[in-house]
A and B are shown apart, each in its own frame.
Chain A
Amino acid sequence: DQQVKQNSPSLSVQEGRISILNCDYTNSMFDYFLWYKKYPAEGPTFLISISSIKDKNEDGRFTVFLNKSAKHLSLHIVPSQPGDSAVYFCAASGGVTGGGNKLTFGTGTQLKVEL
Chain B
Amino acid sequence: NAGVTQTPKFRILKIGQSMTLQCAQDMNHNYMYWYRQDPGMGLKLIYYSVGAGITDKGEVPNGYNVSRSTTEDFPLRLELAAPSQTSVYFCASSPSAMEQFFGPGTRLTVL
Using Cβ atoms and an 8 Å threshold, which residues of chain A touch B31?
101
Using Cβ atoms and an 8 Å threshold, which residues of chain B touch A6?
42
Binary CB contact string for chain A from 84 to 107 against chain B (1 if under 8 A, 0 otherwise): 000001000100000011111111
Binary CB contact string for chain B from 67 to 90 against chain A (1 if under 8 A, 0 otherwise): 000000000000000000000001
Assess the B103–A102 pair: CB atoms within 8 A: no
Bound Cα distance A4, B59 (Å):
14
Which B residues fall within an 8 A CB radius of A?
4, 31, 33, 35, 40-45, 48, 50, 56, 58, 90, 92, 97-105
- Most A Cβ at <10 Å: residue of B31, B41, B42, B105: B42
CB distance from B71 to the nearest CB of A (A): 16
Q: Which of A43, A46, A108 contacts B42, CB < 8 Å?
A: A108
Q: How many residues of A contact B (CB 8 A)?
A: 24
Assess the A43–B97 pair: CB atoms within 8 A: no
Assess the B45–A102 pair: CB atoms within 8 A: yes
Using Cβ atoms and an 8 Å threshold, which residues of chain B touch A104?
45
Assess the B98–A42 pair: CB atoms within 8 A: no
Bound Cα distance A57, B102 (Å):
23
Given the interface pairs A43-B4, A101-B50, A107-B42, the reply to whether A49 lies near B99 with Cβ below 8 Å is: yes
Q: Tell me the interface secondary structure of chain B in the complex.
A: strand
CB distance from B92 to the nearest CB of A (A): 8
CB distance from B11 to the nearest CB of A (A): 15
Contacts A32-B98, A36-B102 known; list 20 others, CB within 8 Å: A4-B42, A41-B105, A42-B104, A43-B92, A44-B102, A45-B102, A46-B99, A46-B100, A46-B101, A49-B98, A89-B42, A101-B31, A102-B45, A102-B97, A103-B33, A103-B45, A105-B35, A105-B42, A107-B40, A107-B42
Assess the A44–B43 pair: CB atoms within 8 A: yes
Assess the B4–A107 pair: CB atoms within 8 A: no
Bound Cα distance A4, B41 (Å):
12
Bound Cα distance A13, B43 (Å):
25
List residues of A (30-84) whose CB comes within 8 Å of B's CBs: 32, 34, 36, 41-46, 49
Using Cβ atoms and an 8 Å threshold, which residues of chain A touch B98?
32, 34, 49, 93
